[in-house]
Amino acid sequence: MTSLPTHTERKLGLVIDLDTCVGCHACVISCKGWNTENYGAPLADMDAWGETPEGTFLNRVHTFEVTRDTAPPMVVHFPKSCLHCDDAPCVTVCPTGASYKRVEDGIVLVNESACIGCGLCAWACPYGAREMDGAEKVMKKCTLCVDRIYNENLPERDREPACVRTCPAGARHFGDFADPDSHVSRLVAARGGIDLMPEQGTRPVNKYLPPRGRDTLETPALASLCDPLPDTPGTPVQGFLGWLDRALERI
Amino acid sequence: MSVQPAPDLSPRVSDEIRKTTCYMCACRCGIDVHMKGGKVAYIDGNRDHPVNKGVLCAKGSAGIMQHLSPARLRAPLKRVGPRGSGEFKEISWDEALSLAADWLRPLRATAPEKLAFFTGRDQSQSFTGWWAQAFGTPNWAAHGGFCSVNMAAAGIYTMGGSFWEFGQPDWERTKLFLLFGVAEDHDSNPIKMGLGRLKERGARVIGVNPIRSGYNAIADDWVGITPGTDGLFILALVHELLRAGKIDLDYLIRYTNAPYLVNAADGSENGLFLRDADGKPLVRDRRTGHAVAWDAPDIAPDLAAGVEIAGTTHLPVFRHLTDRYLSKDYAPDAVAKRCGIPAPRIRAIAAEIARVAFEEEITIPQPWTDFRGVRHETMTGRPVAMHAMRGVSAHSNGFQTARALHLLQILIGSVETPGGFRFKPPYPKPPEAHPRPHAGHVPGQPLDGPHLGYPLGPEHLLLDEADQPKRIDKAFSWEAPLSAHGMMHMVISNAHAGDPYKIDTLFLYMANMAWNSSMNTTQVMQMLTDTDANGDYVIPRIIYSDAYSSEMVAFADLVLPDTTYLERHDCISLLDRPICEAEALADSIRWPVVQPDRDVRPFQSVLLDLGARLGLPGMVKDDGTAKFKDYADYISNHERRPGIGPLAGFRGPDGMGQGRGAPNPDQIARYIENGGFWFEHIPEEAQFFKPWNAAYQNWAVARGLFDSPQPYVFNLYAEPLRRFQLAAEGYGSRQPPDHLRARLMEAMDPLPIWYPTFTDAATDPAAYPLHALTQRPMAHYHSWGSQNAWLRQIHGHTPLYVSGEVWRARGFRSGDWATLTSPHGRITLPVVRMDALNPHTVWTWNAIAKRRGAWALDACAPEAAQSSLLNHLIHELLPPKGDGLRWANSDPVTGQAAWYDLRVRIEKAPAGQRVTYPAHPAQASPVPNPPRDLAHQVKG
Amino acid sequence: MHPAPSLIVFTVFSGLGFGLLAWLGLGPALGQPEPLGWAAFVWFGLGYGLAGVGLLASAFHLGHPERMLLAFTQWRSSWLSREAVLAVAALAVMAPHAAGSVFLATPLPAFGMAAAVLAVMTVAATAMIYAQLRTVPRWHHWTVPALFVVAALAGGALLAGQGCAALWLLLLLALLMIAHWRIGDGRFRASGSDAGTATGLGGLGRVRLLEPPHSGRNYLLREMVHVVGRRHAHKLRLIALALGALLPAVLVLLAPGSVVALAFAAVLHLGGMLAARWLFFAEAEHVVGLYYGRGGTAPTDG
Ligand SMILES: Nc1nc2c(c(=O)[nH]1)N[C@H]1C(S)=C(S)[C@@H](COP(=O)(O)OP(=O)(O)OC[C@H]3O[C@@H](n4cnc5c(=O)[nH]c(N)nc54)[C@H](O)[C@@H]3O)O[C@H]1N2
Ligand SMILES: Nc1nc2c(c(=O)[nH]1)N[C@H]1C(S)=C(S)[C@@H](COP(=O)(O)OP(=O)(O)OC[C@H]3O[C@@H](n4cnc5c(=O)[nH]c(N)nc54)[C@H](O)[C@@H]3O)O[C@H]1N2
Ligand code: SF4
Ligand code: SF4
Ligand code: SF4
Ligand code: SF4
Ligand code: SF4
Ligand SMILES: [Mo]
């Protein structure tokens, strides 16, 4: 199963909007909650109340600072989970076939009962999207909530990934990138969605929308907005009163 | 190739979904609690809920871990070791309640004020206040005094409502949004959802904050203001807008007191409004030049000219306002340096506000009729919205800064208009429509009225015959005349000092006063443990209700363990702090979706039980037995006024009553059926212009929000403040002490002003060059989050973020620790460099640091070993000024604690220093040690 | 990368074992004197033993060794699977030759040669487990399989008493070690991955980690974000080079044919290879470090 499918019917994945993500970690914890209770073994937390807690998370939010020469520095919150790569190196390295990419929708999964916990797939992933569970010793990764998106026990409107459903800012979008008319494809086209580390040759399915321009507010247009002559140099109040009188006459 | 595995794509999610209300913070989102085999398996957001519409924050999703926390208390506790040690024995409820009743009964009979009952962010304030009133003590309040009373009071006095629970931006229509001093706020999810909507629509967001993180990180433009100077910046924007004539004169004339004539004659009426014989404020009619009642029909109120009476010219409010703000003192160039914002940027922001407000005005084709009876065919709005929180309010100039912000909103006509800021019912509600504060206590009797309220003049202060404060926290005294939420942060120090009097029992509920919610934490811990000459505790008795093993628990004599939020009834009431939306009336409940597995009880039910044991009026039947079985019984059957109870929905015998109606025994069941909440849309014609909209006013009366329509105009000029100034000038029978006169004259200005924070004014910038702030992490709620196995991994320690400038100047390297010193104390923390930071500011996360032994955490946990509270650096009093007096470190108008006035200096900690300071002894844990690892899964 | 002892032992010992077995398998073809009987038992035993220890150590690295059989299934795509298959194949094919030598004093050169090829392929496959990883630029290079194979053959030669071959192989090994380090030092930069490409924010300005996602620890940090002090690494490189290649070479040169010298050289070589392998892991930077403020360049503090 370790060979990659040559073609997947659909390419399901996420669009993450870096212009909108406020870094609230809601997606991190909803993912933890859903996946602790569902797909495979619970996501364990070792030394949970101790000195060095270390838990398994399938989605984590980093924060970067971008310093610029002529504008104020920016802060960008950066959620990251599995990108469900088309050329997923994590799959081809797996010795057991536990890691695989689904033919029907391109989701990359780990079959936990076949995983020997060698960790090689995590090494092969450039994005840090795989974590070995501390208690169960099997590889864990984002399942794209495969057990939600097709789940007949969930109402139709809830058949989307937990992280997408919960994101308060609406910074996460789920859909089919194989369909050029899908919501996600259109977002990527409109906002210039990008790949992470394209030089790694993984061809990620998930896309990131870069932050829009920041700190672009231009200096005074106020003069052009002014009603005639409110401002008489030297005596602002006097000039203002003249304007006020005229303005009140017009009301 | 082997065949692709076929995982179960349709696992059963739950046997049942129970819909209740989150309480991982005070935002109160609706949650779907997924149950498996009677156990809580998974929590997600309720899609139909008005607050969160399905989304959930990190804390909300982690609620399951809070519910399962090893720090949960297990049974009532009676102290056996010294206070603060954490040594307790578990006792029965009967013993606990008898003990409490035995302590309180004699107090009520002889001196009810000797009970001080203060509560945290509990959301049952209308209930606890009612209980305290029945007990008869004047000493009750919740935490608002140290939280955001500046914001609340400035909003109420200026325009009948403020941000958060009081109102919200018109997220769907706003085109320019300015956010002042907000990291997270109470409206956690709605703000994020709102920002998401703005981003989706491409609206511009401007973040005014010394720190560019969180919401400010996604702001299109960031204004890295120097702390404490927002008022100056805002008034510079006002200056620019006035200068350019970019103000909504029509709006000002119709809906504000801008045209009111201000008495210019010397004497006790100076600065108050000119009024007619009926007491109606006068305006100048432009057509006749006469002074006429403000609401007289067919007049054209003037904003420019005054009227001359007996040789004195009385000018309208608007003239006072323009005279002040057009002054060069408020010009961008004059304020730029102080605010740390280049003047061109201030001008650019003013220009953008003007452009959007007046060139992108929006019109909704919705006719409406105003309170004067004038019909308007459309609703026109200026799509500039603003929001602010504790970055503005937690300063000693916060009240006036918040007023300045409202002034700015009102000048451009963007309050209660489409695209601007909108109130949420039961707001708008002017100060006059609120009660006055009460402190009339008589042994054995209930208090003479509600504790808290809005004074309209010195006559409403709570002072005794000797002009001494009647309340233990000195709220509503000359030191903080408009302390509308009380001053919880002063209770322990005042009780310890016996000033203004000694108390017997300190009863606290859900407030970690021995740690993160007190200033001056180390000394507060000392005050709680101090003994007098006889070896008795200076504060004789402390009763505390908490659900977890917090720091405060260790200082109680008697601990009443609460349930978790999934195990009890709660009511998020219109009488209190409801969950309404700008377009709807709403309230909600919590209900026990699981039964507790420990010997704990819901605090509200315990309070009712205690009330019944004490025979408090309203809590016992004529035969002396308990009137309410439990809190749920109270929620459905208590009536505040006839037909008005804690819950507004499903009232009356048929459950059809909305707002008004007789109690309905099935009410809670109806709420549960409905998803835990009740919601009613405001009629379309009543959606905007609420203070002046006849349809809204009538609807509000029908729903029981008011008993009669209460239209009013906005107070650009706040007359009640002027009354205090007059007293300070020597007028009136109630006079402030001399040392407060000058300060009252300055701070109680009826028009918004800016003055430097008290700390800034008194600090030598060379000795303490930096401002130090905390921010709330989005994934933690104060001290609660650290017991949560999932959340504590996100924020487990408190790094100190310093600007690149400070980093270079101090030669920091990654891995270094720094010593922060304030005039009051010293702490050490690991440093992290952050460039997107006001260069004169350092900051860390709020309330992550823990005392060793608390919260069932390991003694070496990073929360204790690599974290510290800025609270150790903050004193509730300012450093001595040499005048023999100690001045409070709070806002002079409201008494709000000035957390963010803090000034510090920073040094590199000695090499190898890897421990935080100060070091407190560990507290013994009243709960057993937790297991090491966690892998929780409810097997279906 | 975290220099896990299990992996160091695995790669060094199995390399040495398969190297020795390769020489034992090749012996007849090279016309070398054959160990027979007890001697064969000792030599083959050593070879099997070293390879076995290595493979056992690798099992320690697994979360679920009981499912190890599954690792033989994916040889079409996975180098780790290939390594497992090859290792078993090498050991199995060697068995008749070894048994023949020990019990019947009859080596079976055809089996021996085939097994020798398989043994070398096993070592190469082991190396490819690392060299295939683009995510670790230092490893993603032909020097890695070359180094592994030459190290195995050199060590094997020492153990097999092939002094002459050992000498040349050790010198080649020294060159390869230096090449691996010199080239490796520039690999991360050459990979083109940096914080800018990792986040896609590079076009906006200089990108720096402000806050890691969790203040708590995680598997990735433990496993892949390991930092060694530069000076420390330099010293270790010298030690590894000296012990692993140069000193053994000198010994072989000074006392050609001396069993004691060869044995001593082998011990030195083993120590050197353990050090070199520690460095191999410890110095390897994974691109995921870019998401944690590491990688390529030091975190910008100044
Ligand atoms: N997740 C989470 N949510 C919470 C809470 C929590 O603990 N966790 N607590 C709740 C409570 S009780 C409260 S009171 C609210 C508070 O909600 P916020 O007001 O959002 O909380 P703070 O973290 O106090 O944020 C204050 C912000 O003001 C900025 N600031 C400080 N001084 C100044 C200044 O002078 N000018 C300007 N412009 N900005 C300044 C700080 O940088 C910071 O970003 O949050 C509530 N919501
Ligand atoms: N340095 C600094 N200090 C600050 C602030 C700041 O900005 N900077 N902000 C201040 C502000 S605005 C606030 S509001 C305070 C907040 O400070 P606190 O109100 O003290 O907040 P918490 O730490 O959450 O403490 C609340 C207590 O309630 C308990 N609790 C939780 N759930 C339950 C329950 O269901 N039942 C009961 N009975 N108890 C429960 C918790 O265990 C905890 O002990 O902090 C203030 N302190
Ligand atoms: S992101 Fe990593 S784990 Fe996910 S498919 Fe790509 S390489 Fe594999
Ligand atoms: S850890 Fe599991 S999934 Fe990953 S490569 Fe090894 S066997 Fe495959
Ligand atoms: S799609 Fe599901 S598994 Fe993946 S990050 Fe989101 S919540 Fe986690
Ligand atoms: S939930 Fe949404 S806004 Fe919050 S961190 Fe995740 S992606 Fe960002
Ligand atoms: S904001 Fe989060 S913690 Fe607060 S009530 Fe909503 S979901 Fe719960
Ligand atoms: Mo607060």
Dihedral-angle region of residue B757 (phi above 0 means left; psi in -120 to 50 means alpha; beta otherwise): beta
Q: What pLDDT is attached to residue B242? A: 94
Q: What pLDDT is attached to residue B880? A: 87
Q: State the ligand closest to the CA atom of B402.
A: 1
* CA distance linking residue B653 with residue B659, whole number of Å: 14
CATH number of B77-145+432-561: 3.40.50.740
Q: How far is CA B453 from CA B273, B416, B434, B446, B894, in A?
A: 23, 24, 6, 17, 12
Residues C66 and C123 in one domain: yes
The shortest CB-CB distance from A2 to any of C74, C214, C223 is to: C74
Q: What pLDDT is attached to residue A224? A: 59
> Higher-confidence residue: B880 or C221?
C221
Q: Does A130 touch chain B (CB under 8 A)?
A: no
Residues A204 and A247 in one domain: no
From-to residues of CATH 3.40.50.740 in chain B: 77-145+432-561
Residue A135 lies in a domain: yes
* CA distance linking residue B375 with residue A237, whole number of Å: 35
Residues C126 and C172 in one domain: no
Q: What percent of chain B has pLDDT over 70?
A: 100
The answer to whether B787 touches B66, Cβ cutoff 8 Å, is yes
Interface test with A, best of C69, C78, C226 (most A CBs within 10 A): C78
**Chain segment B719-768, per-residue pLDDT in tens:** 999 999 999 999 999 999 999 999 999 999 999 999 999 999 999 999 99
From-to residues of CATH 2.40.40.20 in chain B: 759-908
Backbone angles phi, psi at B750, to 5 degrees: -70, -15
Residue A217 lies in a domain: no
Largest CA distance in chain A: 85
Residue C150 lies in a domain: no
Q: Residue B884: is its pLDDT beyond 90?
A: no
The residue whose two tokens read 């003069």 is: A223
* Number of neighbouring beta carbons within 10 Å of residue B299: 19
Q: Residue C14: is its pLDDT beyond 80?
A: yes
Residues of A in Cβ contact (< 8 Å) with B242: 230, 240
Q: What pLDDT is attached to residue A215? A: 94
Q: State the ligand closest to the CA atom of B517.
A: 2
DSSP state of B890: B
Residues C175 and C76 in one domain: no
Interface test with B, best of A4, A6, A18, A25 (most B CBs within 10 A): A25
Residue C149 lies in a domain: no
The answer to whether B841 touches B807, Cβ cutoff 8 Å, is no
Q: Does A199 touch chain C (CB under 8 A)?
A: yes
The shortest CB-CB distance from C299 to any of B794, B796, B814 is to: B814
* CA distance linking residue B893 with residue B837, whole number of Å: 30
Residue A1 lies in a domain: no
Q: Pick the residue from chain B with its C-alpha nearest to C217.
A: B793
* Number of neighbouring beta carbons within 10 Å of residue A2: 26
Residues 89-128 of A with CB under 8 A from B: 97, 100, 102-103, 109, 111, 114
In the beta sheet, which residues pair with residue A60?
A: A80
Q: How far is CA B763 from CA B338, B400, B747, B805, B902, in A?
A: 15, 21, 19, 21, 10
Helices (H), B283-424: 317-325, 332-339, 343-359, 390-393, 398-411
Q: What is the mean pLDDT of residues B637-653?
A: 96
Q: Which atom of ligand 3 is nearest to the CA of A142?
A: 4
Residues C9 and C75 in one domain: yes
Domain end residue (candidates: C132, C147, C175): C132
The answer to whether B401 touches B395, Cβ cutoff 8 Å, is yes
**Chain segment C80-122, per-residue pLDDT in tens:** 999 999 999 999 999 999 999 999 999 999 999 999 999 999 9
Residues A87 and A57 in one domain: yes
The residue whose two tokens read 């944690």 is: C292
Q: Does C213 touch chain B (CB under 8 A)?
A: yes
In the beta sheet, which residues pair with residue B590?
A: B570
**Nearest C-alpha of chain C: how many angstroms from B788?**
13
Q: What is the mean pLDDT of residues B247-260?
A: 97
Q: Do C301 and B813 lie within an 8 Å CB cutoff? A: yes
**Nearest C-alpha of chain C: how many angstroms from A78?**
8
* CA distance linking residue B63 with residue A29, whole number of Å: 10
**Chain segment B519-562, per-residue pLDDT in tens:** 999 999 999 999 999 999 999 999 999 999 999 999 999 999 99
* CA distance linking residue B679 with residue B595, whole number of Å: 27
Q: What pLDDT is attached to residue C300? A: 38
Q: What pLDDT is attached to residue C301? A: 36
Task: Give the domain B759-908 fold.
Answer: Barwin-like endoglucanases (2.40.40)
Residue C151 lies in a domain: no
DSSP letter for each residue of B234-280: HHHHHHHHHHTT-S-HHHHHHHBSTTBBBP-SSSTTTTSBPB-TTS-
Q: What is the mean pLDDT of residues C261-289?
A: 96
Residues C119 and C221 in one domain: no
Backbone angles phi, psi at B873, to 5 degrees: -95, -10
Residues C195 and C277 in one domain: yes
The H or E element spanning position B772 is strand B770-775
Residues A36 and A135 in one domain: yes
The H or E element spanning position B99 is helix B93-110
Domains held by chain A: number: 2
Residues C113 and C46 in one domain: yes
Structure tokens at A188: 């990527």
The alpha carbon of C222 and the centre of ligand 6 are apart by a number of angstroms equal to 25
DSSP letter for each residue of B451-485: S----SSGGGS-B-TTS-BSSTT-TTSTTSTT-TT
Q: What is the mean pLDDT of residues B437-455?
A: 97
Q: What pLDDT is attached to residue A233? A: 56
Q: Which atom of ligand 7 is nearest to the CA of A26?
A: 2
In the beta sheet, which residues pair with residue B169?
A: B421
Buried b / exposed e over A110-139, threshold 16 CB at 10 Å, is bbbebbbbbbbbbbbbbbbbbbbbbbbbbb
Q: How many residue pairs from chains A and C have C-beta atoms closer than 8 A?
A: 202
Q: How many CA atoms lie within 13 A of C186 on its CB side?
A: 5
Q: Does B465 touch chain A (CB under 8 A)?
A: no
The whole domain housing C176 covers 162-302
Q: Does B813 touch chain C (CB under 8 A)?
A: yes
Domains held by chain C: number: 2
> Higher-confidence residue: C230 or A161?
A161
Q: How many whole angstroms from its chain centre is CA C48?
A: 17
Residues A195 and A233 in one domain: no
Q: Does B939 touch chain A (CB under 8 A)?
A: no
Q: What pLDDT is attached to residue A236? A: 64
The shortest CB-CB distance from B795 to any of C76, C215, C301 is to: C215
**Chain segment C167-212, per-residue pLDDT in tens:** 999 999 999 999 999 999 999 999 999 999 999 999 999 999 999 9
Residues A152 and A34 in one domain: yes
Residues C3 and C80 in one domain: yes
| Domain at B160-257+324-426+688-716, CATH from 3.90.1170.50, 3.40.228.10, 3.30.200.20, 1.10.3470.10 | 3.40.228.10
Residue A7 lies in a domain: no
**Chain segment C25-82, per-residue pLDDT in tens:** 998 888 877 888 999 999 999 999 999 999 999 998 999 999 999 999 999 999 999 9
The alpha carbon of A41 and the centre of ligand 4 are apart by a number of angstroms equal to 15
The answer to whether A175 touches A11, Cβ cutoff 8 Å, is no
**Chain segment B200-239, per-residue pLDDT in tens:** 999 999 999 999 999 999 999 999 999 999 999 999 999 9
**Nearest C-alpha of chain B: how many angstroms from A94?**
14
Q: Residue B1: is its pLDDT beyond 50?
A: no
Contacts 24+ apart (CB under 8 A), B474-480: B474/B500, B474/B895, B475/B141, B475/B145, B475/B437, B475/B895, B476/B437, B476/B439, B478/B736, B478/B737, B478/B740, B478/B744, B479/B740, B479/B888, B479/B892, B479/B895, B480/B888, B480/B890, B480/B891, B480/B892, B480/B893, B480/B894, B480/B895
**Nearest C-alpha of chain B: how many angstroms from C211?**
9
Residues in chain A predicted with pLDDT less than 70, given as ranges, are 1-2, 219-236
Nearest CA to ligand 1 atom 32: B391
Q: What pLDDT is attached to residue A227? A: 57
The shortest CB-CB distance from C199 to any of A57, A69, A78 is to: A78
Q: What pLDDT is attached to residue B919? A: 84
**Chain segment B284-334, per-residue pLDDT in tens:** 999 999 999 999 999 999 999 999 999 999 999 999 999 999 999 999 999
Q: What is the mean pLDDT of residues B159-176?
A: 94
The shortest CB-CB distance from A2 to any of C78, C84, C211 is to: C78
The alpha carbon of B45 and the centre of ligand 6 are apart by a number of angstroms equal to 15
The whole domain housing A236 covers 222-251
Strands (E), C111-194: none
The alpha carbon of B26 and the centre of ligand 1 are apart by a number of angstroms equal to 14
| A26 pocket-lining for ligand 5 (C-beta < 6 Å) | no
pLDDT bucket at C302, cuts 50 / 70 / 90:
very low
Q: Which amino acid is at B234?
A: I
pLDDT bucket at C299, cuts 50 / 70 / 90:
very low
Q: Which atom of ligand 5 is nearest to the CA of A143?
A: 3
DSSP letter for each residue of B574-611: TTSS---BTTEEEEEEE--SS--SSS---HHHHHHHHH
Residues of C in Cβ contact (< 8 Å) with B796: 214-216
Q: Do C215 and B862 lie within an 8 Å CB cutoff? A: yes
Among B19, B20, B21, B28, say which to mutate for ligand 7: greatest number of ligand atoms within 8 Å of CB: B28
Residues A70 and A178 in one domain: yes
**Nearest C-alpha of chain C: how many angstroms from A3?**
6
Residues A34 and A70 in one domain: yes
Residues of C in Cβ contact (< 8 Å) with A15: none
From-to residues of CATH 3.40.228.10 in chain B: 160-257+324-426+688-716
Residues A44 and A137 in one domain: yes
Residue C140 lies in a domain: no
